Amino acid sequence: MSDMKIMMFGQTGQVATEVQRKADVIALGRDVADLSDMDALRAAIHRHQPDVVINAAAYTAVDRAEEEETFALAVNGVAPGVMAHECAVQNIPFLHVSTDYVFNGSGTAPWAASDSVDPQNAYGRTKYAGEVAVRTAGGNHAILRTSWVFSAHGANFVKTMLRLSESGDAMNVVGDQIGGPTPAVDIAATLLDMACQMMNGQQGGTYHYAGTPAASWADFAAEIFAQAGANVTVTGIPTSEYPTPARRPLNSRMDCGSLMTDFKIAAPEWKKGLRHVLAELQK
């Protein structure tokens, strides 16, 4: 890893933060590489001449994207394609983070990477547009779809639940959306491992990486409170009782088998990851 020059778009997000804690990377924030300025993205890759490029930057305000889909599309859809094309021209492996929101959330079976997509909200549509653009660029690329990301920094479900627990001992949390909470630190480690393997000739593709076992948001909340020693009773409620501007998928279970087959990387255990995050927050 030390002799590999890694450039990453993204600097302050949960995954980008963890990548920087694990490896010496050139991390570009929006001040240097504005994701809505395509010339700046190309120039950055030209200037740094990296061995591999990771895109960990995105427009992630899911509900706001319903009002700002054009801007979200520039950042999530167009920009990754520009990065991937520039990498293809220079024969540089390119890794891109995507989302479970490209699926419609029907059924109960885990989604395979090869399943048909059908995004149900603006965020999902813009992220899928990015996937298509990356594939169309034609270089050696890996798209890593993940879900329910959490860490000790940034805005995420764990920190929200801990904050809310300070003002009450009972909470209603959505119980009919099922997915895999995923520690950002594990996503970072996976991206770096994949980058290393791709530098050494491994071909990429589209993969899933999400925490195991599957859980509902209510299950996740209950585990957060149990591990944190917070005396909070969680009641699961249906999505219909917690309306949001953007429609959420009910089934975000992810089949991570192909990542194990091709890269020998197993899905992370989110409860273990949660312990580490809570320990860091308590520090």
32-69 pLDDT, tens per residue? 888 888 999 999 999 999 999 999 999 999 999 999 99
| Chain centre to alpha carbon of residue 232 | 28
**CA angle, 147 then 113 then 192, to 5°:** 60
Report the alpha-carbon distance of residue 195 to residue 200 in Å, rounded: 9
What is the CB neighbour count within 10 angstroms for residue 109?
10
Structure tokens at 143: 């798209």
pLDDT in the model for residue 31? 83
Q: Active-site positions?
A: 123
CB burial string 238-273: b at 16+ within 10 A, e below? ebeeeeeebbbbbbbbbbbeebeebbebebbebbeb
Q: Are 161 and 225 in contact (CB under 8 A)?
A: yes
Residue 220 has pLDDT above 60, yes or no: yes
For the chain, the structural domain boundaries read 6-155+181-212+253-269
Grade residue 2 by pLDDT with cuts at 50, 70 and 90. low
| CATH number assigned to the domain with residue range 6-155+181-212+253-269, chosen from the 4 options 3.40.50.720, 3.90.1150.10, 3.40.50.880, 3.40.50.300 | 3.40.50.720
At residue 171, what is the residue type? M
Grade residue 30 by pLDDT with cuts at 50, 70 and 90. confident
Grade residue 1 by pLDDT with cuts at 50, 70 and 90. low
% of the chain with per-residue pLDDT over 90: 94
CB burial string 119-136: b at 16+ within 10 A, e below? bbbbbbbbbbbbbebbbe
84-129 pLDDT, tens per residue? 999 999 999 999 999 999 999 999 999 999 999 999 999 999 999 9
Q: Which pTM value belongs to this model? A: 0.97
What are residue 182's phi and psi, to 5 degrees? -130, 120
The single residue listed with the structure tokens 């427009």 is 59
Measuring CA to CA, which residue among 232, 202, 209 is closest to residue 220?
A: 232
The single residue listed with the structure tokens 């959420």 is 248
